Structure 1
Amino acid sequence: MSKKKKIIISVIAAVLIIAVIVSAVVIAMTKGKNAAKASGVYANKVADVMYQAGSTDRYSGVVEAADTMDIKADSEKTVKDILVSEGDEVQVGTPLFTYDTKDLAAKKESATLELESLNNTLSGYDAQIEQLTKEKKEAPKDQQLDYTLQIQQAQTQQKQTQYDIATKKAEIEKYDESIKNATVNSTMVGVVKKINENQSADTADTAFMTIVATGDYRVKGTIDEQSFLNSGLAEGQAVIVRSRVDESKTWQGTISKVDTENPQTDNSNSGMYDDGSSEQKASKYNFYVQLTGTGDMLLGQHVYVEPDFGQTEVKDGIWIDESYVVKDGDDAYVWTLNKKDKLEKTKVELGDYDENLMMYEIKSGLTKDDYIVWASDDLYEGEPAQTWEEYVENGGGEDSVYDDMGTEALDDQMLEGTEGGPVDDGTMDDGTMDEGAADATGSGDAEVQ
Structure 2
Amino acid sequence: MKRRTIFYTTLTLSLLFVGANTYLIEKANSKVDREVRVANWEISGTGDLAKELPKSGVVTAEEESYIYFNDEFGSFKKFLVKEGDQVKSGTPLYEYEVTDQTQQKSVLESEVEQLEDEIDSIEDNIDDLESLESSLPSTSTDDKEIPIDASALQSEYEIKKEIAAKELEIDRLENQIDNLERQISDIESYETTLTVQSSVDGTIKDLSHAIDNPLITIASQATIVTTDLTEKEIVTVEENMSAIIQSDIEKESQKGIVTKVATLPKNDPHLQTDSMYPLEVKLQDTKNKLLPGHHVFLSIITEEVKGALVVPVTAIEKEGTSTFIWILTEKGTVEQRKVKTGLQVNGQQQIKSGVKAGEYYIVYPGDIPALENGTPFITGIDWNRIRLRDLKKVDRPTVLENLLVGILERK
- TM-score bin, normalised by smaller chain: 0.3 to 0.5
Taking structure 1 as the reference length, the TM-score comes to 0.38
Higher Cα radius of gyration: 1
Taking structure 2 as the reference length, the TM-score comes to 0.42
